[in-house]
């Protein structure tokens, strides 16, 4: 199943409403917000990995006995939260390079997005609703994960740690279950979502390893590459070493194996919506294909005497 195609109608409606809301931002934040929104729309750009952020309310609709309007409001609110955290990540990662004017612009736009998130969730949950303690809990988990990022190597086998930066994705689940009187189901669903978000983070780390080489502790795939190579402690990895891990030490195969284990754990949990299993399976299949392609490339180049070329030149 192609989840983007399967939920195209919902995505179109959610992003159309978000665009209408952003259109009411003051200039120039209306145009800048629209550009950011367009780049995150999987129907317009290659942004499929963020599907869970704004489709999760629809994926939980049956298990939470929710109506379509609730799902849409929470999905639109999630889009605003997602965009705000995109901007925060950019400022934290690239603030020195962006310069004062760009940082100011990002923070101001982020404040407008935060206000929109609060208003869309506020349509369904009053100030005293049981949702908001969960919001503070998830925000604290995000803050802890961000503040500790890079202090020690990211652990590819720690799903709750990997999911920390995405903790607020779970907020709609807490809200929907509390509204349905099913908060007793939340611990299991939180565990399931940690496994799903960890799977997504591992996939992102594999895709981003080159960008993360300068701060390799942030990237769980690089932790795995160092492990597979038995790389000396204190010696930074370089691109050639990581390619050795990919093409000679089956690091991507190991990564796919960890993701498969997360999927197996997910299946053992009671009442997990089937679409979450599909989402994880899609990520696993992509990693497995990448591992197979790496193995096939090594065999082909070794037969042709070109293995040294791939280690020094070939791009992922």
**Which pLDDT score, from 0 to 100, does residue 312 have?**
55
Indicate whether 303 pLDDT > 80.
no
Structural domain boundaries of the chain? 1-124, 128-315
Going by C-alpha positions, the residue among 164, 190, 160, 147 that lies closest to residue 60 is: 190
Reported as a single tens digit per residue, the pLDDT across 241-289 is 999 999 999 999 999 999 999 999 999 999 999 999 999 999 999 999 9
State the pLDDT confidence band at 239, using cuts at 50, 70 and 90: very high
**Which pLDDT score, from 0 to 100, does residue 26 have?**
97
- In this predicted structure, which of 14-18, 262-266, 305-309 has the lowest mean pLDDT? 305-309
Indicate whether 48 pLDDT > 70.
no
* CA separation for the pair 166, 173 (Å, rounded): 13
Indicate whether 1 pLDDT > 80.
no
What is the mean predicted confidence (pLDDT) over 62-83?
97
CA distances from 314 to 126, 181, 238 (A): 55, 54, 14
pTM of structure = 0.93
Going by C-alpha positions, the residue among 161, 164, 185 that lies closest to residue 173 is: 185
For residue 152, give the 3-state DSSP assignment.
strand
Average pLDDT, the chain: 93
* CA separation for the pair 207, 291 (Å, rounded): 13
Indicate whether 80 pLDDT > 80.
yes
**Which pLDDT score, from 0 to 100, does residue 209 have?**
97
Higher pLDDT, 298 or 35: 35
Reported as a single tens digit per residue, the pLDDT across 135-175 is 999 999 999 999 999 899 999 999 999 999 999 999 999 99
Indicate whether 315 pLDDT > 50.
no
Burial of 35 (0-12, 13-18, 19+ CB in 10 A): exposed
Reported as a single tens digit per residue, the pLDDT across 210-231 is 999 999 999 999 999 999 999 9
**Which pLDDT score, from 0 to 100, does residue 316 have?**
46
Query: Are 18 and 72 spatial neighbours (Cβ–Cβ below 8 Å)?
Result: no
Burial of 255 (0-12, 13-18, 19+ CB in 10 A): buried
Indicate whether 112 pLDDT > 50.
yes
State the pLDDT confidence band at 299, using cuts at 50, 70 and 90: confident
* CA separation for the pair 291, 47 (Å, rounded): 22
109 beta partners = none
For residue 276, give the 3-state DSSP assignment.
helix
* 4 half-sphere exposure, CB direction, 13 A CA radius: 13
**Which pLDDT score, from 0 to 100, does residue 308 have?**
56
**Which pLDDT score, from 0 to 100, does residue 96 have?**
67
State the pLDDT confidence band at 304, using cuts at 50, 70 and 90: low
């Amino acid at each position: 199943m192609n989840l983007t195609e399967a939920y195209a109608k919902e995505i179109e409606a959610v992003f159309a409403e978000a665009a209408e809301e952003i259109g009411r931002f003051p200039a120039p934040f209306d145009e800048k917000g629209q550009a950011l929104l367009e780049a995150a729309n999987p129907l317009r750009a290659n942004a499929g990995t963020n599907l869970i952020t704004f489709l999760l309310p629809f994926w939980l609709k049956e298990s939470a006995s929710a109506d379509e309007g609730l799902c849409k409001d929470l999905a639109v609110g999630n889009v605003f939260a997602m965009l705000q955290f995109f901007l925060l990540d950019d400022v934290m990662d690239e603030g020195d390079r962006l310069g004062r004017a760009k940082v100011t612009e990002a923070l101001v736009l982020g404040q407008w997005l935060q206000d929109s998130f609060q208003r869309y969730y506020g349509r369904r949950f009053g100030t005293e609703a049981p949702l908001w303690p969960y919001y503070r809990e998830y925000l604290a988990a995000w803050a802890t994960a961000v503040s500790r990022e890079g202090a020690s190597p990211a652990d590819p086998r720690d799903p709750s740690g990997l999911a920390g930066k995405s903790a607020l994705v779970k907020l709609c689940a807490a809200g929907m279950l509390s509204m349905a009187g099913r908060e007793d189901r939340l611990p299991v669903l939180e565990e399931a979502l940690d496994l799903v978000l960890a799977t997504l983070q591992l996939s992102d780390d594999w895709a981003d390893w080159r960008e993360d080489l300068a701060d390799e502790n942030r990237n769980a795939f690089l932790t795995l590459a160092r492990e597979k190579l038995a790389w000396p402690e204190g010696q930074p990895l370089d691109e050639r070493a990581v390619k050795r891990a990919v093409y000679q030490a089956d690091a991507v195969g190991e990564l796919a194996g960890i993701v498969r284990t997360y999927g197996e754990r997910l299946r053992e949990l009671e009442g997990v919506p089937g679409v979450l299993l599909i989402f994880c399976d899609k990520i696993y299949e992509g990693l497995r294909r990448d591992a197979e392609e790496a193995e096939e490339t090594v065999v082909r180049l070794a037969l042709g005497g070109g293995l040294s070329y791939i280690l020094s030149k070939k791009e992922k």
